[in-house]
Each structure stands twice: as structure tokens, then as C-alpha cells.
Amino acid sequence: MTKKYSDPIDGYIWEVGNLLPYPEEIKRPVLEDLKKDVQDAMGEDKRPPAVVFGSPVDVAKNVSLAQSWGITSASWSKRMVASVIDSTIIGFLFAIAIFIRFALLGFDIDKVAIPFHNMEMDFGFLFISLPIFGFMVGYFIILEQTYSTTLGKRLLGLTVVDETGIKISWNQSILRNLSKIPLVGFFLLIDLFVGIFSEKTRGRNQRMLDFVAGTKVIQNK
Amino acid sequence: MSIDSLLPKWTTEFKKGYSKPLILFTLSKVEKSYAYLLTKKILELTKGEISIAGSNIYPMLSKLERDNLITSQLDESERKFYTLTQKGTDFLKNLETEIQKFNSIMLEIINPNQSHGDM
């Protein structure tokens, strides 16, 4: 998701802003001030702003740290409610898929051949179970990386950010959501309980995988 | 690790320690400044020896503001500028003494035969 700007400074500020998953009204004045600093720094310099002023990631980190935006941790209770909402959405889609699966049992298309390898794959697995499995994993990974939140989290005003308060990377999103993969789902409980019981010693409420990925869930509104 | 690669690392380390005092000293000289202009002024005052790159100054300014050593206001163009507070001015006087005392001790260790003016 990149936008084209005729002025490279505007493009640069957009990139920085895109890394800061906070409401527009609190971001705007800070980014406007930043733009003036970047304009000063650029002067007559023809090099890209990222070379003169620093990479958008570094700038976003410094802006976030300076504003202390990402410091209000979300409570465990809100995180759990958000998780229940997300699980309900996934469960609902899963139920629809199961329904389709059974509805199709009556048809003689349960086996389909994949032409490349001469293999026979179960229709239900290929077209229903596999996409649903992908959705269950992808739901959290894609939404949290792209929008810094999920539907459940959004309803409760929760945002996933990295330790410096900026948008998480793909690697961080995959890592923090490993325990949500359906087949290793039991690990989520260990992940959660280790987080809850080590909160006092570590002084922060992160799941174990949040800690490993360097991410946290904050209360954004 | 060779001396050539170690030295810049050590130099950067101790220069970093001077960043916040330099912001305060610079603000005491220029009275008020925008964030980026401060970094430019610091580079100028330190003869190019200490540069606070790009946005690295923001968290420092924010910390100094939280400690009430500096304050920020918006000018007529809605741009944030920083000034020293009274607490910041008083703090700077004490910091100056501490830095001179420390530098004098360091110089004495480095070159014990020369007089470095006791504080």
C-alpha cells in the first residue's frame, strides 16, 4: 500500500504516518510539525528525504517514543473479550464451511485430480478445509500487520504495535500469532498463562510470543 | 576487534552522553529553537563533532520536557519551538559545574603532570 506523491516530502511523511497506527486527529499535528523539520533539513538537497532525515521506520519510532503513544497496555480482560469476538467470527465462518462441506456430500465430486502430479486430493480438504485453515491463520496475521488490529480488537479500541509503538512487520505478525494456528492451538493457553503469570516479574502484560516477537497490545482509545 | 573499528564505537558512546546537556546548553544560547534547527546549531557549536541525526532529537526533547527542563509552545505558524524553563536554567548551572569537575578529573588521569584547574 503505497501512494504516489508529486512532492517527495509528502510521500515521505505519508510513509512515516502509515507506520503509526494511531487516530488521525492525534497524528496530524505531529506529522505537520515533522514535515516542517524535514523541509528545513532538505533545503536545497536533492537527495531523497530518507537519506537526509533518516528512514521512515526510524523516524516513526522516534516520533512514537517522543509522543509516548504506545504506552497504555491493554488489559487482559479486554484482550480476552476481543479474542472471544474474533473466535466467534472465525467459528461462524467455520460453521458455514462445514455446512457447505456436508451439503456437498451428496454430490459425486468428493475426489478431484490435480493434473500436474496425477494425485488425487479430497475435494473437501482442497476447497473447504484448506482455505478455512488458511483463513484462521491469516485472519490475525494479515489484519494485524495491515490494520494493526482485528475486528474484535477494533471494537474494544485495541491496537497491536511493536515495542517502540509503530506498526508491526510481517515477521512480527507471523511470530506473535504462531500459537493461534489451529493445530497447535493448545499452545495459546500456555502462551497466555506464561504471559499472565510473568507479568509481575517482567513488569508488562505481554503473551509469551508477544515478548519473543517484540510486540504489545495497547489501548488506543 | 581492531583499534580502528573500536575507537569510533567508543567515541560515539561518550558523545551520546553529551546529547541532552548539549540541547540544554544550545537552548541557553539561542533562547528558543525548533527541533531540527537545534540539531543544526549543535553541529555548528561542536564544530561538526557531535551531530544528532534527523529525528533522534525528538525523544530527547520529549524527555527534557517531561522533566520540566524545557518547555514547548506553538509559534504563529503553528510550529513547535522549545525554550529553557527556570528549572532548566538552574539545572544547567549545576550541570556545568559537574561537567567541569568531571572533565578536570579525566584530564588529570590522562595527563597527571599538568595542572587542570581544580574546581
Long-range contacts of A101-105, Cβ-Cβ distance < 8 Å, separation of 24 or more = A101/A128, A101/A129
Does B59 reside within a domain?
yes
Measured distance CA(B77)–CA(A156) in Å, rounded: 37
Q: What is the pLDDT of residue B117?
A: 58
Structural domain boundaries of chain A? 8-67, 76-219
User: What does the pLDDT look like over A20-31, one tens digit per residue?
Assistant: 999 999 999 999
Q: Which of A33, A40, A59 sits opposite B37 (nearest CB)?
A: A40
Q: Tell me the CATH number at B53.
A: 1.10.10.10
Q: Does the predicted interface ipTM exceed a cut of 0.85?
A: no
Quote the percentage of chain A above a pLDDT of 70.
81
- Pick from B36, B55, B77: CB nearest A58: B55
Tens digit of each residue's pLDDT (9 = 90 or more) over B45-77 = 989 888 888 889 999 999 999 999 999 998 888
Residue with cell 491463520: A137
Instruction: Please check whether residue B44 lies inside any domain of the structure.
Output: yes
Give the C-alpha separation, A159 to A217, whole Å: 6
Chain A: residue whose CA lies nearest to B38? A37
Q: Does A59 touch chain B (CB under 8 A)?
A: yes
Provide the domain count of chain B: 1
Cβ contacts (< 8 Å) between B40 and chain A: which residues? Answer: 40
Q: Indicate whether B28 pLDDT > 90.
A: yes
Nearest CA in chain A to B40: A41
Confidence of residue A113 (pLDDT cuts 50, 70, 90): low
Kindly tell me the number of DSSP H helices and DSSP E strands found in chain B: 5, 3
Expressed as residue numbers, the domain containing B59 is 3-84
CB-nearest to A37 from B36, B77, B78 is B36
Backbone angles phi, psi at B114, to 5 degrees: -100, 150
Within-domain flag for B97: no
